[in-house]
Copies of this chain bind each other. A is one copy, B any other.
């Protein structure tokens, strides 16, 4: 039971194409309980919502029931904050428009809001993480793709249609040899700086040279930024070159992004950041070299300190406080 009348918990839902993680979070950002259901197992979204509510029940019982929960935040692919819907998500079973916020509101009797995972990550950093107290910053998530959440005056930028903040699809290479992107265009940042992008760079560098490398023992399509990190730690020059190449593109792109909202910080999250100084040093170098003089030295480049496995749920839950 709560000690006062203020509702002290929120629910966060991190919905992926494969799994959905539900978490119960308090105001300090402690995740009290999580439960997981398979997103793919429910061709009917109503069954999915019912399964989610059922999975939450034991955790809700622990904290005295739903009456102690202020709201629910959902991080989901192709989610529109304005409409509360998932809209035409290619990686989910539910086609067209899915009023996911309304469905959970009706099932749980509390307000629910929805946004995409990068915006949720930005909210998580602002509420519980390294961006606490910041009014203007940019979140960059480096995963299978590159996502972004932009904060202006303490609020996520959703833009005119709810889908603003797609900096991973900024075209950073307009040359003939620019990489093809899943979006149908060429040269998007995420073709270079996502996990997949780093693997593409690794394959390119391995093909170009004869340098011995532990990376040659892996299937080229399975190389991760963590493998490249291990190779860099082992002293391989080629691994260092891969991170330099990636960081130079990402740092220069971030210098352009900073022109938009003069951020206090750009916060990075995701697998690539585990490479530590191998990736952060070249990002910082390229950022400094490419920053407009009026912004020089004003914007920090930070790495998320939220627990990786909890960060997505925490981020989503932050929407529940709003």
Contact = CB atoms under 8 A, between A and B. Distances in A.
A166 B159 CA distance: 19
Interface stretch (A7-15, A46-54, A234-242, A252-260): A252-260
A135 interface: yes
Given A152-B157, A153-B155, A252-B174, A164 B261 contact: yes
A185 B286 CA distance: 13
A140 interface: no
Most chain B CB inside 10 Å of its own CB: which residue of A160, A163, A290, A299: A160
What is the oligomeric copy number?
2
B157 A260 contact: yes
A169 B259 contact: yes
Contacts of A263: 159-160
A76 B163 CA distance: 33
A161 B298 CA distance: 8
20 contacts: A134-B160, A135-B160, A152-B157, A153-B155, A157-B261, A159-B261, A159-B262, A160-B263, A160-B299, A161-B262, A161-B295, A161-B298, A164-B259, A164-B260, A165-B259, A165-B261, A167-B259, A170-B256, A171-B252, A171-B255
Interface of A: 134-136, 150, 152-153, 155, 157-167, 169-171, 174, 183-185, 252, 255-257, 259-264, 290, 292-295, 298-299
